[in-house]
Amino acid sequence: MMGQVEQIIKVGIADMSVIKAPQTIRTSGLGSCVGVVIYDPGQEVAGLAHVMLPDSTLAKTGTLNLAKYADTAIQELIKMIVKSGGRSHALKAKMAGGAQMFPNLSGNDMMRIGPRNVEAVMNELRKFKISVLSSDVGGNQGRTIEFDPLTSSLMIRTVNQGIKSI
């Protein structure tokens, strides 16, 4: 008997997507960016946003990329998950990233993008009453993450540190 072929959906920088099991979802290149996974474990549906910046007020004029900013990505991702069968009252979150990629410049608040991204994502999740069950944030290493909605497991590959699951 042949099993289902696992399909990995890739999310780019300043991008987001929603999946259902048996698909998994992955993003790489998380330095100061935050990868936030919001999911409904009972419905086996999950969304991932690769957030680059904390606040859409930093946007230049023109078309706003909702996935790029914490304050717009979380709200839009929740809508997409609910549209795909997730229940807003059952949503949980996991996140990784938010590294301080330029530790020598950490005295300048504008260069503290990683920590500011983490704080902004946490604030948005609190606003929607979504619990963060686990996170791997900070440090100064890049990460790649992959989420499986079947097991609610977030695999994190950190540069020079190997793989762990949260």
Contact 38, 24 (CB under 8 A): no
One-letter amino acid identity for 164? K
User: Would residue 131 show up in a list of annotated catalytic residues for this protein?
Assistant: no
Number of H helices, E strands in the chain: 2, 10
Scanning the structure block, which residue is given the tokens 């946007």? 59
Contact 27, 8 (CB under 8 A): no
Q: How far apart are CA 134 and CA 125, in angstroms?
A: 13
**Interior angle at CA 40, CA 7 and CA 127, nearest 5:** 125
Residues 18, 30, 33, 77: which is the catalytic one? Answer: 33
What are the tokens at 76?
């839009």
One-letter amino acid identity for 104? N
Q: At what angle do helices 70-83 and 113-127 cross, to 10 degrees?
A: 40
Task: List residues with catalytic annotation.
Answer: 33
